[in-house]
C-alpha cells in the first residue's frame, strides 16, 4: 500500500486492531490509494465515478488502512434499519426494515464517522452536513459528488457549498477500477461560481473507469 503522509492537521485515528486488518484487506483485494493529502485541517474528498456499492466498501477499507478518521454520509434509515428496497415505502427516511438492534447499529456507524441525513426534511442535505461539521476543528469528509449510482454523468453542488461554508479544501479523487486505486489529485481551488467548479471537477473525472460506468463529460461523445 502506498503511504499517505499524515500531519498533525489531519484527524489521525490510530487503530491497533482495525488498522492492520484494513491494510491486510487492501492488499487482499489488490487496491491502493495514491497521491497526497494537503496539509489542511478541513478536507473534502470529492470522489467519482460512483457506480457500485463496492465503492463504499473499498473506501472504508482505505479509511481503516490509513489510520485516518473519515466522515461519510448516509440516509438516516441506514443507521437504524436493515436497508432493503421496499417499493411501497415512499419516505426515503423510512426505507428498510426496523430491528431490535437499531440503537447499537446507530452507535457503531456514528463511531465509524457516519453522518445521518434526513432526505425528506425541508432543510437540505448540504445544510445538515454543514451544521454537523461546523464545530469540528479538523475533519476529512468523503463525498461521492454524483450523489447516487446513476448512469448519467451529473455532479451535485454539495461539495461547493460545504467547502465554501466550512473553508474546507476540496481534493478531487478518482475511483479508478481500471488501475484498482483511489487517486488523490491536486486540490481544487473553489471559485464563487458553482458551475465553474462543477465543470472543473468533470474535467478531472473525464474517462475515469468505474466499476459499472466510465465518467464522461456531458459535452463529450
pLDDT tens by residue, 99-112 = 899 899 999 999 88
Closest CA to 51 of 156, 199, 185, 152: 152
C-alpha span between 193 and 50 (Å, rounded): 24
Residue 87 has pLDDT above 60, yes or no: no
Residue 54 vs residues 18, 58, 180: alpha-carbon distances, Å: 19, 6, 12
C-alpha span between 199 and 208 (Å, rounded): 15
What is the widest separation between alpha-carbon atoms in the chain? 50
C-alpha span between 111 and 64 (Å, rounded): 13
Quick: pLDDT tens for 149-182: 766 568 899 999 999 999 999 999 999 999 999 9
Rg (CA), the chain: 17
Other CB atoms within a 10 A radius of the CB of residue 210 amount to 23
What mean pLDDT is predicted for residues 132-157? 86
Q: Is pLDDT larger for residue 44 or for residue 6?
A: 44
Amino acid at each position: 500500500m502506498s503511504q499517505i503522509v499524515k500531519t498533525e492537521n489531519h484527524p489521525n485515528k490510530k487503530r491497533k486492531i482495525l488498522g492492520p486488518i484494513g491494510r491486510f484487506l487492501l492488499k487482499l483485494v489488490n487496491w491502493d490509494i495514491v497521491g497526497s493529502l494537503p496539509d489542511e485541517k478541513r478536507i473534502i474528498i470529492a470522489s467519482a465515478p460512483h457506480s457500485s456499492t463496492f465503492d463504499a466498501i473499498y473506501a472504508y477499507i482505505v479509511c481503516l488502512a490509513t489510520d485516518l478518521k473519515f466522515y461519510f454520509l448516509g440516509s438516516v434509515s441506514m443507521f437504524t434499519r436493515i436497508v432493503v428496497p421496499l417499493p411501497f415505502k415512499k419516505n426515503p427516511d423510512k426505507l428498510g426494515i426496523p430491528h431490535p438492534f437499531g440503537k447499537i447499529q446507530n452507535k457503531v456507524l456514528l463511531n465509524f464517522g457516519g453522518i445521518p441525513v434526513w432526505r425528506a426534511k425541508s432543510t437540505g442535505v448540504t445544510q445538515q452536513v454543514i451544521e454537523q461539521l461546523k464545530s469540528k476543528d479538523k475533519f476529512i469528509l468523503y463525498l461521492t459528488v454524483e450523489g447516487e449510482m446513476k448512469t448519467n454523468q451529473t455532479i451535485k453542488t454539495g461539495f461547493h457549498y460545504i467547502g465554501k461554508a466550512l473553508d474546507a479544501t476540496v481534493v478531487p479523487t478518482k475511483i479508478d477500477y481500471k488501475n484498482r486505486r483511489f487517486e488523490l489529485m491536486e486540490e481544487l481551488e473553489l471559485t464563487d461560481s458553482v458551475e465553474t467548479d462543477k465543470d472543473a471537477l468533470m474535467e478531472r473525472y473525464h474517462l475515469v473507469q468505474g466499476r459499472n460506468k466510465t465518467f464522461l463529460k456531458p459535452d463529450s461523445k
